[in-house]
């Protein structure tokens, strides 16, 4: 015991690792007796266990600092130790090296509060060969369990903070009290018919899986059975039923229909397609004649909001990306505009597609179908043979779409399995080459991950899908870059923070996993992208500027960006700019909140839909 105390004092009172190692050498003499290799490793392991365990309990930074010192000592020690493969202590050396890496992950996890490190940490712990060190294994497994509790607590507090729930400092770790606070928020939201109810319910579900709340005041159940309002809508009846299930510690079982009602998802349309001057306006643009084609999942039925054209020029290509003009067609603040803003985006559910804009309106006036004249906002980019964007311009114009292709048909053409007339084969080959040049000149983590995933999930690369993906990324990047030149315009960027660790590192370590597990790990590692008026760049795409601008039939944010483009062509007064900035600030807040809400809906709907399938009796 004395030896352990002396080692602890050496570590606590010294910051210089060499001094610590020399002091330990004097105390233990590991350089003269081979058995003391094992002794020192055991002592350091135990100290490491103590410091991490204390940190877990108290979250005191001194414990964390001491743990890092011990890890550094272990690293220095194991680097200086020379074991032969036949040495009886070689397994300790290997364990020490692994534990150094593990503790590094623990350090990142605790210091950076990064949840995905816990995934790697658990994997590495499980792969360790402890052999005769079963007690040590139990200690580290116990630490992992405690760390899981910490991450859940911190994630919860972050969610609380994001949703502006104020709690007292002394209550931060008392999850039951937080649970009752959120319950109160739920009932208040029901009373006020506030949409924050979705976030509070989500938080309750997170907490309900982690705490024992069977002693929660029974008055909450009375509030459910006897709500303040006697005339609750179907939506709030469903929500109260869900609250009752949570309080009774039962699994919620909303049906797909109930999930739609719960989230106010109503995508019914008035099918009148006659132009209504209160909602629509048809503007006359200069006609242009690029040889434009579309590539989609289904050439006939899909609503098409993007088309491509290409020309071979001296030392490069002129790529045209043509996006349907929805922003000018639908009158801002009209009844239809307010309706699609409330929907916010098209939803692709397991059993149906819910369109943001009526398919009849899209088909008759917006979709870039072959043989139809359509108003578009076109990007023309000059691409060099090295893949650099030498110049670009945006134009509002009217074009006639030449051809609609499916991904399947386009891929067959590109693989020389079939041939089509009218230079379709030639243009597709030019598009493939030009977009591959862009991809190769701007390698980024997002593209690399998609390619790596395809290596193990798809037998052949979907070439035509790559053409579309690269083109849309280019359009979204240059649209944001173009608008950012107008310094008074409040551009809405799509931004993405840096993950930790990078998903490429995760991928390389997890490549042997089955596809679904691998993709889930990548999703866990990546922070979600979001909308912002502050341009911090898009880490995953490795782009300084990026926006959502290429899918205005499917996303309302893209319509907002198109309207900014048309405003950039006008001389706005100071008052107009101030009003526009205020509108943009409100919209960014709304868009981020709406996106989270719809993500919760999609996840719940998918689970509800899965539950509708009855297992087949074996």
Query: What are the tens digits of pLDDT across the range 501-530?
Result: 444 454 455 444 444 444 454 445 456 789
The predicted structure's pLDDT at residue 457 = 46
Q: What is the mean pLDDT of residues 277-282?
A: 84
Max CA distance (Å), the chain:
94
First to last CA, the chain: 61
422 is written with which tokens?
């009218």
Specify the higher pLDDT residue, 234 or 18: 234
Lowest average pLDDT, out of 215-229, 261-275, 486-500, goes to 261-275
Q: What is the mean pLDDT of residues 39-68?
A: 67
Lowest average pLDDT, out of 105-114, 227-236, 262-271, 545-554, goes to 105-114
Q: What is the mean pLDDT of residues 407-424?
A: 89
DSSP state of 366: I
DSSP state of 195: T
Q: What is the mean pLDDT of residues 458-463?
A: 60
Neighbour tally for 101: CB within 10 Å: 14
The predicted structure's pLDDT at residue 81 = 55
DSSP state of 32: T
Please report which confidence band the pLDDT of residue 383 belongs to, taking 50, 70 and 90 as the band edges. Answer: very high
The predicted structure's pLDDT at residue 55 = 63
525 is written with which tokens?
């590692």
Please report which confidence band the pLDDT of residue 224 belongs to, taking 50, 70 and 90 as the band edges. Answer: confident
Specify the higher pLDDT residue, 514 or 536: 536
pLDDT tens-digit readout, 539-574: 778 888 999 999 999 999 999 999 999 999 999 998
pTM > 0.85: yes or no: no
Distance, CA of 435 to CA of 430 (rounded, Å): 9
Contact 322, 265 (CB under 8 A): no
The predicted structure's pLDDT at residue 277 = 74
571 is written with which tokens?
């001389």
The predicted structure's pLDDT at residue 541 = 80
Is residue 539 classed as helix, strand or coil in its secondary structure? Answer: coil
Judged by phi (left if over 0) then psi (alpha if -120 to 50, else beta), residue 347 lies in beta
Contacting residues for 610 by C-beta, under 8 A, at least 6 apart: 350
The predicted structure's pLDDT at residue 9 = 61
Q: Give domain limits for the chain.
A: 2-156, 175-252, 292-611
β-pair type (493-495, 530-532):
antiparallel
Please report which confidence band the pLDDT of residue 219 belongs to, taking 50, 70 and 90 as the band edges. Answer: confident
pLDDT for 615 beyond 60: no
Nearest in space to 98 (alpha carbons), one of 123, 116, 125: 125
Judged by phi (left if over 0) then psi (alpha if -120 to 50, else beta), residue 428 lies in alpha
Q: What is the rounded average pLDDT for all residues in the chain? A: 76
The predicted structure's pLDDT at residue 167 = 42
Contacting residues for 478 by C-beta, under 8 A, at least 6 apart: 379, 381, 389, 392, 394
The predicted structure's pLDDT at residue 196 = 82
Distance, CA of 396 to CA of 566 (rounded, Å): 9
Distance, CA of 608 to CA of 587 (rounded, Å): 31
The predicted structure's pLDDT at residue 34 = 41
Contacting residues for 422 by C-beta, under 8 A, at least 6 apart: 402, 403
């Amino acid at each position: 015991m004395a030896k352990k105390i002396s080692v602890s004092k050496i570590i606590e009172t010294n910051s210089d690792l060499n001094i610590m190692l020399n002091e330990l050498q004097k105390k233990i003499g590991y350089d003269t007796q081979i058995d003391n290799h094992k002794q020192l490793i055991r002592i350091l392991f135990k100290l490491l266990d103590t410091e991490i365990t204390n940190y877990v309990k108290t979250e005191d930074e001194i414990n964390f600092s001491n743990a890092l010192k011990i890890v550094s000592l272990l690293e220095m020690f194991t680097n200086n130790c020379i074991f032969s493969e036949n040495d009886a202590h070689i397994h300790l050396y290997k364990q020490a090296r692994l534990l150094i890496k593990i503790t590094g992950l623990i350090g990142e996890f605790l210091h950076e509060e990064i949840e995905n490190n816990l995934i790697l940490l658990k994997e590495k712990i499980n792969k360790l060969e402890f052999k005769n060190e079963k007690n040590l294994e139990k200690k580290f497994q116990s630490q992992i369990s405690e760390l899981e509790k910490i991450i859940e607590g911190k994630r919860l507090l972050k969610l609380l903070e994001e949703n502006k729930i104020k709690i007292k400092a002394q209550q931060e770790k008392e999850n039951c009290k937080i649970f009752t606070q959120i319950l109160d928020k739920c009932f208040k939201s029901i009373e006020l018919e506030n949409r924050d109810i979705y976030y509070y319910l989500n938080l309750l579900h997170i907490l309900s899986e982690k705490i024992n709340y069977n002693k929660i005041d029974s008055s909450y159940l009375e509030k459910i059975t006897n709500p303040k309002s006697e005339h609750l809508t179907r939506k709030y009846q469903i929500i109260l039923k869900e609250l009752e299930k949570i309080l009774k510690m039962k699994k919620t079982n909303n049906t797909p229909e109930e999930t739609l009602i719960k989230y106010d998802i109503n995508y019914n349309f008035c099918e009148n397609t006659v132009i209504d001057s209160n909602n629509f306006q048809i503007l006359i643009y200069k006609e242009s004649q690029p040889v434009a084609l579309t590539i989609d999942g289904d050439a006939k039925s899909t609503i098409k909001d993007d088309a491509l054209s290409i020309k071979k020029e001296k030392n490069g290509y002129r790529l045209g990306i043509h996006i349907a003009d929805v922003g000018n067609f639908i009158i801002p603040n009209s009844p239809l505009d307010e309706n699609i803003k409330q929907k916010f985006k098209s939803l692709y559910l397991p059993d149906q597609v819910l369109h943001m804009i009526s398919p009849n309106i899209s088909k008759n006036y917006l979709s870039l179908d072959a043989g139809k004249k359509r108003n578009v906002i076109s990007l023309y980019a000059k691409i060099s043979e090295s893949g650099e964007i030498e110049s670009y311009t945006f134009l509002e114009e009217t074009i006639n779409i030449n051809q609609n292709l499916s991904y399947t048909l386009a891929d067959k053409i590109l693989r020389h399995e079939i041939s089509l007339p009218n230079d379709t084969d030639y243009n597709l080959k030019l598009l493939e080459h030009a977009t591959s040049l862009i991809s190769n000149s701007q390698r980024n983590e997002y593209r690399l991950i998609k390619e790596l995933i395809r290596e193990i999930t798809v037998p052949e690369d979907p070439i035509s899908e790559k053409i579309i993906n690269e083109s849309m990324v280019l359009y979204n990047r240059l649209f944001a870059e173009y608008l950012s030149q107008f310094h008074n315009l409040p551009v809405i960027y799509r931004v993405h923070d840096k993950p930790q660790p990078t998903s490429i590192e995760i991928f390389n370590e997890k490549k042997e996993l089955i596809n679904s597990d691998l993709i889930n790990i990548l999703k866990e590692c990546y922070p979600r992208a979001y909308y912002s008026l502050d341009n911090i760049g898009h880490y995953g795409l490795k782009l300084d500027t990026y926006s959502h601008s290429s899918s205005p039939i499917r996303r309302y944010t893209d319509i907002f960006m198109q309207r900014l483009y048309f405003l950039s062509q006008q001389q706005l007064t100071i008052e107009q700019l101030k009003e526009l900035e205020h509108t943009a600030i409100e919209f960014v807040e709304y868009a981020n909140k709406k996106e989270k809400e719809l993500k919760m809906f999609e996840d719940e709907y998918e689970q509800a839909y899965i539950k509708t399938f009855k297992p087949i009796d074996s």
